[in-house]
Structure 1
């Protein structure tokens, strides 16, 4: 990053100050999501935003080796105490937070002290993969479904804030003010909400947002989650995005929707275009390794079980909610096996890498599955443990090439750090330890 670029960023930030001050903003939260899916933050007072934009905010590279409980693993390329990175807020995404008066938010790109992109910057990797598709003439639009449960406050145990029926209007009525405040906050923040509804599990809700470019889709997923968290706390309640909130219950998913476009045409619309088929076939082919990215916690495998609408088999089907890949006819591809312990930037990056590989190879989809895959002889189960997923990731040359040597190794090191942490834990102990971390 040269002097001219730094001066440009500083001028951009300076131009924003009066408008933010007029909206009573006193500080800007600059966030990134670590490899364990935890949103980390550094904050600057509003008047320091121009300097942060130009020169970044210092942070340790050791965050690349953090586990979900803040333990730092001694990785091959991360985890030591030496070094410094700079967080540069994306000024185009600065958002005044409706659920946190006085605050604005911006996602960060991570650079080294010389102004070069950090090789393990998650947001940067997502941008790189989107650019690879663009070079090949494709545009991708993406969006996340965010599921969470609302619990009563003041306890580490989970007691649902509403016991009304699944998908029932009564549940929404019982938490009517909460739901209205949340939707209002999202809309005020210019989040394009497509749908909001009660979900299956006790106290569970879901919000879906409109498709956008992949990096911004991941940004929006972070913003939506933190807005949910803020509004939930303001109502004296508690939100959990964990893939398993109670050991015998249904967990939270984090489904990714993707569509492939060329020359303003959606290639998933109507008859499946060969490039759209190749993209979907590439994702299907690499799903085992993708689980190390999209199902990255030990708790993920308590959720990823058959006949629970979690997508536990490496199959696809048209409007089949038990297949890992659901083709939403005339619109997009939904990846159902992913959950919200994942870093959304890494989910986007890895999915695009797999899809592009399928396009390049001219891959074809097998016949669609039209029933619950548990009844299909020979249907391939996705990994049943995080250890199996990590092995699949390490053996996947497409994914490891996309991440690069250092990044791929650190992903494996962090995942194995969590595996070791819960090696002797029961499902109840895993659930309890992870319930409020994501």
Structure 2
């Protein structure tokens, strides 16, 4: 895209721009800027009060200006008079160090200094539910194993096809749509790209899916575990390192049994070393731990890991090696912040490369049925507080993600945990009234 948003507006018939940024909790914030003002606003940025979003700020902080990245601009196919553009928060002439997109860009710069570029693709799962959120939207979607159910998929054809057609219009090259393992659950896959582009697309995808679902009188949710008896919403990340020109995959080595280079194994070693601490970022909510530590669901499997292990083409591990030259990180869920998800993968992997970490032995077993036999495999945190503690004490990750970000993130997420612990649940009343 061109760098002149005013020209973009004139050429495309855009009347308004959503100047967007994503806060620490993954909430997308925006101001609606008319095309007549966009030229000046592109120079100065859109002003926000940082305290009004999930950033560690107070009302005493000065204005925060979100500078739009014109390369990210997307015209809304379902509302073409509006364009969305991702932005970077600045304050007092400096990038806001705790802002997620800035955290990712700092890690990209670090990789670039090493002559490396991370390419990635995401697989965000979501449920289509009733508007009140109480149940899945398709009363006939009741199979015990509904994955790939053709009839259930086609009953939601209007919604899924519109989302996919929108992605085709945007040039994202989507290549398949499917009904997933839970009743009412779907997934749409599209082409990979550099990790900042993927993060921007991931952020827009969540906005787009929700908006199109609303058009059809439905609600879309990426909540990790919206129904206790059904498989939760994961967000798998396929990723690899390339040369700066994106022409040569640094992870690939055809002499290796799994098709991975020494660099890839060290990157994987970083994921293994930091898996538990990464949970604070990749599985960021109280509800996240109802997915990764869940009993078997209606379909027979949770499709999510419970320990820090890797295997070949085996979906029961935290990291899968599906084919040569790439890794699939299967831990993250639908609540993961699109920017922080890419950032923490890069932070952990680069530490593995820097310290030449060994990922340990590949496990070619079904972790769901044989995992109890494995000695020394670290278990994933049982709850959000344990994950935050793992992250806080992990100096490699907190250092790579930046002290300003790490302090702010732990502070605000711990506040959220404390709010949860103050909440009285129905389960407590049902099980403790007779104490």
User: Normalization by structure 1: what TM-score?
Assistant: 0.88
Alignment length, in residue pairs? 406
Residue in 1 aligned with 2:262? 274
CA distance in 2, matches of 1:161, 1:99: 24
Shift of 1:204: 0.5
Shift of 1:328: 1.6
Matched, 1:158 2:139: no
Deviations 1:152-188 (A, max 9, x none): 33x2312333633322111111112222211111111
Greater CA drift, 355-364 or 80-89:
80-89
Query: Matches of residues 414-433 of structure 1 in structure 2 within 5 Å?
Result: 414-425=412-423
Residue in 2 aligned with 1:265? 248
CA distance in 1, matches of 2:269, 2:276: 13
Matched, 1:283 2:271: yes
Shift of 1:293: 0.7
Shift of 1:343: 1.0
Residue in 1 aligned with 2:433? none
Residue in 2 aligned with 1:43? 32
CA distance in 1, matches of 2:52, 2:336: 15
Shift of 1:427: 7.6
CA contact (8 A) 1:99 1:185 kept: yes
Quickly say closer, same or farther: Cα 1:361–1:26, change in 2 above 3 A. Answer: same
CA distance in 2, matches of 1:162, 1:41: 35
List structure 1 runs of 4+ shifted beyond 4 angstroms: 424-430
Residue in 2 aligned with 1:72? none
SS at match of 2:4: helix
Deviations 1:109-164 (A, max 9, x none): 111143x21111211211111121121121210111111011133x2312333633
Residue in 2 aligned with 1:392? 390
Query: What runs of 5+ residues in structure 2 fail to find an aligned partner?
Result: 295-300, 429-435
Deviations 1:6-40 (A, max 9, x none): xxx9x82232231132xxx2211122211112222
CA distance in 2, matches of 1:331, 1:420: 42
CA contact (8 A) 1:254 1:340 kept: yes
CA contact (8 A) 1:320 1:369 kept: no
Deviations 1:236-271 (A, max 9, x none): 111011001112322111111111123732233332
User: Normalization by structure 2: what TM-score?
Assistant: 0.88
Residue in 2 aligned with 1:5? none
Quickly say closer, same or farther: Cα 1:28–1:411, change in 2 above 3 A. Answer: same
CA distance in 1, matches of 2:340, 2:427: 27
CA contact (8 A) 1:182 1:228 kept: yes
Matched, 1:100 2:87: no
Shift of 1:428: 7.5
CA distance in 1, matches of 2:210, 2:318: 28
CA distance in 1, matches of 2:311, 2:178: 24
Shift of 1:408: 0.7
Query: What runs of 5+ residues in structure 1 fail to find an aligned partner?
Result: 1-8, 67-76, 431-438
Quickly say closer, same or farther: Cα 1:64–1:238, change in 2 above 3 A. Answer: closer
CA distance in 2, matches of 1:212, 1:428: 45
CA contact (8 A) 2:24 2:99 kept: no
CA contact (8 A) 1:34 1:63 kept: no
